[in-house]
Amino acid sequence: MNVTKTKKLFVFVLAALLAFLPLTPSEPLVSVAASDPTTTAAELEAQLNDILSNERLKGTTTGVSVRNADTGEVLYSHFGDLRLHPASNMKLLTSIAALETLGEDYQFITEVLTDGQVSGDVLQGDLYLRGKGDPTLLKEDFDQFAKDLKSKGISKIKGNLIGDDSWYDDVRLSLDLNWSDEPYYTGAQVSALTLSPNEDYDAGTVIVEVYPTSEVGGQAEVRLTPATDYVTIVNKTEMVGANESKSISIEREHGTNNIVIEGKMPLEGSRSRSWVSVWEPTGYAVDVFKKSLEENGISLIGKSEATVGATPEQATVLTSKKSMTLEELLIPFMKLSNNGHGETLTKEMGKVVYGEGSWDKGLKVTKDVVTSLGVDGATILLRDGSGMSHKNMIPAEEISQLLFAVQDKEWYPAFEYSLPVAGDSDRFVGGTLRNRMKEEPAKGNVLAKTGSLTGVSTLSGYVTTVDGEKLVFSVMINNYLGSSVTFLEDEIAKTLVNYTAGE
Q: Which of 88, 166, 196, 418 is catalytic?
A: 88
Q: Which of 216, 245, 277 is the last residue of a domain?
A: 277
In this structure, which amino acid lies at residue 338? N
**C-alpha closest to that of 206 among 280, 121, 143, 100:** 280
In this structure, which amino acid lies at residue 187? G
Q: Which of 291, 322, 353 is the last residue of a domain?
A: 322
358 close to 169: Cβ distance less than 8 angstroms: yes
Write out pLDDT tens, residues 334-371: 999 999 999 999 999 999 999 999 999 999 999 999 99
CA distance 186 to 202: 8
- Domain hosting 376: range is 39-105+326-500
Following DSSP, what letter does each residue of 20-59 receive, concatenated? Answer: TS---TTSPPPPHHHH---EEHHHHHHHHHHHHT-GGGTT
Q: What is the pLDDT of residue 501?
A: 77
Write out pLDDT tens, residues 382-434: 999 999 999 999 999 999 999 999 999 999 999 999 999 999 999 999 999 99
Q: Are residues 79 and 114 in the same domain?
A: no
Q: Are residues 372 and 479 in the same domain?
A: yes
Q: Are residues 345 and 286 in the same domain?
A: no
User: Is 332 a domain residue?
Assistant: yes
Write out pLDDT tens, residues 269-302: 999 999 999 999 999 999 999 999 999 999 999 9
Rg (CA), the chain: 27
Widest CA span in the chain: 101
Long-range contacts of 45-49 (CB under 8 A, 24+ apart): 45/76, 47/495, 48/76, 48/78, 48/492, 48/495, 49/78
Burial class (CB in 10 A: 0-12, 13-18, 19+), 439: exposed
Mean pLDDT of the chain: 92
Write out pLDDT tens, residues 118-147: 999 999 999 999 999 999 999 999 999 999
Write b or e for each residue in 326-339: b if 16 or more Cβ atoms lie within 10 A of its Cβ, otherwise e: bbbbbbbbbbbbbb
439: domain CATH number? 3.40.710.10
Burial class (CB in 10 A: 0-12, 13-18, 19+), 50: exposed
User: Is 197 a domain residue?
Assistant: no
Q: How many domains does the chain have?
A: 4
Q: What is the pLDDT of residue 37?
A: 65
Q: Are residues 287 and 307 in the same domain?
A: yes
User: Is 449 a domain residue?
Assistant: yes
User: Is 48 a domain residue?
Assistant: yes
Q: Are residues 367 and 413 in the same domain?
A: yes
Q: Are residues 407 and 494 in the same domain?
A: yes
Q: Are residues 163 and 212 in the same domain?
A: no
Does residue 88 have an active-site annotation? yes
Does residue 337 have an active-site annotation? yes
129: domain CATH number? 3.50.80.20
In this structure, which amino acid lies at residue 411? W
Q: What does DSSP assign to residue 443?
A: T
Mean pLDDT of 204-221: 97
Q: Are residues 143 and 87 in the same domain?
A: no
Q: What is the pLDDT of residue 502?
A: 62
Q: Are residues 251 and 354 in the same domain?
A: no
User: Is 200 a domain residue?
Assistant: no
User: Is 11 a domain residue?
Assistant: yes
Does residue 484 have an active-site annotation? no
Q: Are residues 253 and 340 in the same domain?
A: no
Which CA distances in Å does 146 have to 24, 30, 299, 320, 426?
77, 69, 11, 11, 35
Write out pLDDT tens, residues 85-128: 999 999 999 999 999 999 999 999 999 999 999 999 999 999 99
Q: Are residues 141 and 166 in the same domain?
A: yes
User: Is 296 a domain residue?
Assistant: yes
Q: Which of 337, 457, 460, 474 is catalytic?
A: 337
Q: Are residues 401 and 269 in the same domain?
A: no
CA distance 429 to 433: 9
Q: What is the pLDDT of residue 34?
A: 37
191 close to 168: Cβ distance less than 8 angstroms: yes
User: Is 185 a domain residue?
Assistant: no
